[in-house]
Amino acid sequence: MIPYRAMLDVPHEVVEHISWLIYARRCELNSRRRKLGCFRQALLVLVHLRKNETLAQLAAAFGVSTATAGRYVNETAGLLAEHAPSLHQALHKPPPEGFVILDGTLTATDRIRADEPYYSMKHRRHGMNVQVVAAPDGTPLWFSRALPGRTHDLTSPSLRPGAPPARAHGVIQACLSHQLLVLADRACQGAGATVRTPYYGHRDLPEHYQRYNRDHTRLRAPGERAFARLKQWRILRKARCSTNRIGRTVAAIHAIEIAWRSG
């Protein structure tokens, strides 16, 4: 491996914010002597998340071993995930518009064909299903834990057959308790409570149903921005890590995005 200089499109303030979190954790563990300083460790993790460089590439660039690079990534990702808001924290101050957007996406992985639970027939690829609750302007408020890609939006292993992941994660009940309207796609039809989905059919629908579908689509469309911004972190375009770590990685990136917006 030959190291070279490169640019990272992340504000300096975000790197400093993460480095202070790392410093606090090192003080808490009484572990201050490390191969890399707090700022360099934060930079290493951001390069991994933003550019999806392998641990071998990170090790060569920062002058550490591959094992050390992996340890820094796991340690910092877990630290950042702790600062991601829970569902009830995200809904503590509901949007003034009175509704939120619920949507899901598939985070691609490098699983093999034998890993059937992670294969999504809809997307024709292996991955993990992640749900998002977004504000009306598309700002992500909360990301769920990751479920195997085969999990349809109307099934969940943790509840009765036919229960959507949104119910498994507690989204529907949380929005109901906060009296928030939820706009979702047809995959969540039948979820009940305050969830509103489009009507089935196109030309056969009455005019007022078609108008409802158009208004519903217009209001729900900004929710795609949440995933578009999330996928700017290339590690989530095709993750090479264990599927057990993808949910934590999404939470870590969400915490970074919050620091980025507030910075």
* Alpha-carbon separation of residue 205 from 25, 184, 186, 212, 213 (angstroms): 58, 19, 15, 10, 10
Give the separation between CA 258 and CA 263, rounded to whole angstroms: 8
Three-class SS state of 166: helix
190 is written with which tokens?
Answer: 């039948």
Q: Average pLDDT for residues 240-262, to the nearest whole number?
A: 91
Write down the pLDDT at residue 158: 37
**Per-residue pLDDT, 168:** 56
Q: Does 140 or 148 have the greater pLDDT score? A: 140
Burial 243-263 (b: 16+ CB within 10 A, else e): bebbbbbbbbbbbbbbbeeee
Taking the CA atoms of 183, 174, 157 and 74 in sequence, report the sign of the dihedral they define: positive
Confidence of residue 80 (pLDDT cuts 50, 70, 90): very high
Domain regions of the chain by residue span: 1-82+241-263, 87-230
Q: What's the pLDDT tens digit per position in 92-120?
A: 888 989 899 998 888 888 766 555 677 77
Residue 156: its pLDDT value, please? 41
Whether 227 has a pLDDT exceeding 90, the answer reads no
Q: What is the pLDDT of residue 65?
A: 95
Task: Please name the residue that has the structure tokens 């890590």.
Answer: 241
Express as a percent the part of the chain with pLDDT over 70: 88
pLDDT-derived band at 32 (thresholds 50, 70, 90) equals confident
